[in-house]
Chains A and B, each alone.
Chain A
Amino acid sequence: MQKVIETLLIGLSTGSIYALMSIALVLVWRSTRVVNFAQAGQAMLSTYIGFEIASRSEIFWLGLVFAIAAGALVGAGVDYFFMRVLFKHATSGPAAVVAPVIATLGLLGLIRSIVGLTWGGEFRSIKAPASTDGFTVGDGTIPFSTLDVLIIATVSIILIALALLFQRTNLGLALRASAYAPEIAQLAGIRTARTRTIGWSIAGGVGGVAGMLVTSNNFLSPYSLDLLLVFGFIAAVIGGLESMAGSVIGALVLGIGLTFILNYVGTSLVFIGGFSVLILVLLIKPDGIMAKGKARRA
């Protein structure tokens, strides 16, 4: 019984990080209709910057703040300097449909190479902001640690902040409106292009947090965030790619499920488990758990 509970708790902590990544993907997908595979790269770049700050100042949270700022800047930059130019040029021909996706892939490669050339490929690790030793329960210790509590708390704060932003502010309304119906939003006086850039920068910031949190109890390398991207994508697909709430639920379910596989079956099956979930969702409920009978767009 104790093992079940500790698996649940660890899964919650893992899943909450996936939730951030999948929210970043959903935000961009809703506003731009592109699954931003470069998100892994953006998050990695911001994590490296946060890592530099954290290891120089020895304060993890300062690093986290810088990672958010860097992620937001990079996200806005990608949309402003890259996506806008792309959509201006690639409008016709057989490649027009696939160009944006391929472009984000190119961007992922570009950021990866730049990071590799700047920081090298060695594995690095951040000094965790809290103890990674498990809590003592009864006679033994469980793998659930102070760090996991901090991770869950940080993610909860960010999720609440995002929910408030989207539900209670004018900016949130503009973001939702221009994602839902860009033309009408524009007619209503919203600067949709600028709003989209803001959406990208929010996604970038959230991705930066995800990168830092994953790295806080793991190592960092130019490739270390690829799996996070994949699991974030799977979580977003479970939620239907459109719904932020759905993707958070999807991420928590995925995180808990994968942790159960990890604890009860073995490390090597984790990826296969996640991939099977993806295939199953695509086969059984391709619109995701939050679908309301509406056919999928795009």
Chain B
Amino acid sequence: MESWPRARPAVRKKIALFILLGWVLLIIGDRVDELRVYQGAQMAMYTIALASIVLLTGYSGQVSLGNGAMMAVGGYGAALTLNNLGSPIWFAFLMAVVCAALFGALLGTAAARLSGPYLAGTTLALAVGLPAIANQFKFLGGEPGLLFDVGFPPERFGEEFTQYKWFFWISTFIALIALFMTSNILSSRFGRTWRGIRGHSLAAELCGVHSSRMKILAFTVSSALAGLAGAVLAMNISLVAPGAYALSLSFALVTGAVLAGISSLPGVVFGAFILVAIPEIADALAGRLGDADKLNHYLPGLIVSILLILSVIYAPNGPGENLRKHLRKKPAR
């Protein structure tokens, strides 16, 4: 506790930085057209989702291949809250976080005390079976899903203020808060402990760390973040349906996290940018190669997987790492 007063200026500086960042983003949001605003909102969503993977995989060293499923839990939680209780938007987002965290804690208790392949396989199974689960329960709306309508932007913003700009504002605001909190958690003793477990779990336990408890905690926090991202995604597309959280979303998120440099929080913005850019690039490519249906459907997946494979082989810690190594020449021995 003694170090708290000293830590404060750093936190204050961080707050100032985030406010500045938000302000710049809002100005940018005012200047670009509708499609870019929508993509900005999606980018904010990916940023949150990637932060959840960075926290889980990059810091605590666990692999979840089903983050899309966690996002779905958040999305459905938010939609059910909003539709059934008629609650304010912020409460729906809060419930998304709570639902996903609870679900993550449950699943984490089963899987997080187990290592690598078990958690990966269990989460993958969840992502594969998500449509089946959503179809099973009537109140989840089956294949067509549930509507998720956060309503029109408040009138005081004027006539010019479009729906997508409203989405962009909300998602950017949420993403900034989420990133701020995540970066604080990661630089707190929890972040250090997680890194310790990832580096050498036995050594960490000898230092008095309750390794499995910390792993479950990491999984819970990560699920909460994913759930938040899921609710933001639901808002952006006004819908919660199994198709929106398909297996390909989980794959894309893993790719984005690897490209972001799996243990670098600022990198997630870069990863999110790439994830938003890929469909655009694929569209352009497909248009040039002849507009076959097949091409439109499978080209994004092809690009994502090639990027993932290349970066896992040649830059497993993210391109940023290689760049840093390149810049910082090794001292002569």
The A/B interface has a contact count, at CB < 8 Å, of 162
What are the interface flags for A214-231 relative to B under an 8 Å C-beta threshold, 1 for contact and 0 otherwise? 000000001000110110
Cα distance, A93 to B258, chains bound together (Å): 12
Contact of B65 among A34, A86, A99, A105 (CB under 8 A): A105
User: A237 to B118, Cβ gap below 8 A?
Assistant: yes
Cα distance, A89 to B317, chains bound together (Å): 11
Which among A161-169, A176-184, A268-276 touches the partner chain?
Answer: A268-276
The CB with the most chain A CB atoms within 10 A, among B136, B198, B262, B298, is that of B298
The reply on B316 being an interface residue by CB < 8 A is: yes
User: B129 to A117, Cβ gap below 8 A?
Assistant: no
Cα distance, A107 to B308, chains bound together (Å): 9
* Closest residue on chain B to residue A279 by CB atoms: B110
By size class, the interface of chain B is 35 or more
User: B122 to A282, Cβ gap below 8 A?
Assistant: yes
Q: In B297-316, which residues have CB < 8 Å from any A CB?
A: 297-299, 301-302, 304-306, 308-309, 312-314, 316
The reply on B117 being an interface residue by CB < 8 A is: yes
**Chain B neighbourhood of A98, CB < 8 A:** 57, 61, 63, 116, 262
Cα distance, A89 to B313, chains bound together (Å): 6
The reply on A103 being an interface residue by CB < 8 A is: yes
Cα distance, A117 to B292, chains bound together (Å): 10
Cα distance, A141 to B120, chains bound together (Å): 42
The reply on A149 being an interface residue by CB < 8 A is: no
User: B297 to A121, Cβ gap below 8 A?
Assistant: yes
Given A94-B262, A298-B116, does the pair A103, B309 have CB atoms closer than 8 Å? yes
User: A95 to B125, Cβ gap below 8 A?
Assistant: no
Contact of A35 among B121, B255, B309 (CB under 8 A): B121
The reply on B251 being an interface residue by CB < 8 A is: yes
**Chain A neighbourhood of B133, CB < 8 A:** 271-272
The CB with the most chain A CB atoms within 10 A, among B122, B126, B309, B321, is that of B309
* Closest residue on chain A to residue B120 by CB atoms: A101
The reply on B329 being an interface residue by CB < 8 A is: no
The reply on B281 being an interface residue by CB < 8 A is: no
Q: In A85-138, which residues have CB < 8 Å from any B CB?
A: 85-86, 89-90, 93-99, 101-103, 105-110, 112-114, 116-117, 120-121
* Closest residue on chain A to residue B307 by CB atoms: A106
**Chain A neighbourhood of B170, CB < 8 A:** none
User: A109 to B118, Cβ gap below 8 A?
Assistant: no
Cα distance, A286 to B113, chains bound together (Å): 10
The CB with the most chain B CB atoms within 10 A, among A97, A226, A227, is that of A97
Given A98-B61, A101-B116, A230-B125, does the pair A114, B255 have CB atoms closer than 8 Å? no
The reply on B72 being an interface residue by CB < 8 A is: no
User: B125 to A117, Cβ gap below 8 A?
Assistant: no
The reply on B11 being an interface residue by CB < 8 A is: no
User: A234 to B125, Cβ gap below 8 A?
Assistant: yes
User: A105 to B313, Cβ gap below 8 A?
Assistant: no
User: A226 to B128, Cβ gap below 8 A?
Assistant: yes
Minimum CB–CB distance for B163 against chain A, Å: 32
Contact of B306 among A95, A110, A116 (CB under 8 A): A110
Please name 14 further chain A to chain B contacts, defined as beta carbons within 8 Å, in addition to the given A230-B128, A286-B118, sorted by A numbering.
Answer: A94-B61, A95-B263, A96-B316, A101-B65, A102-B312, A103-B313, A112-B301, A113-B305, A116-B298, A120-B294, A233-B124, A272-B133, A278-B122, A282-B122
14 of the cross-chain contacts (CB-CB < 8 Å) are: A37-B65, A95-B262, A98-B57, A98-B61, A98-B262, A102-B63, A102-B312, A110-B309, A112-B298, A113-B301, A120-B294, A272-B133, A275-B126, A298-B117
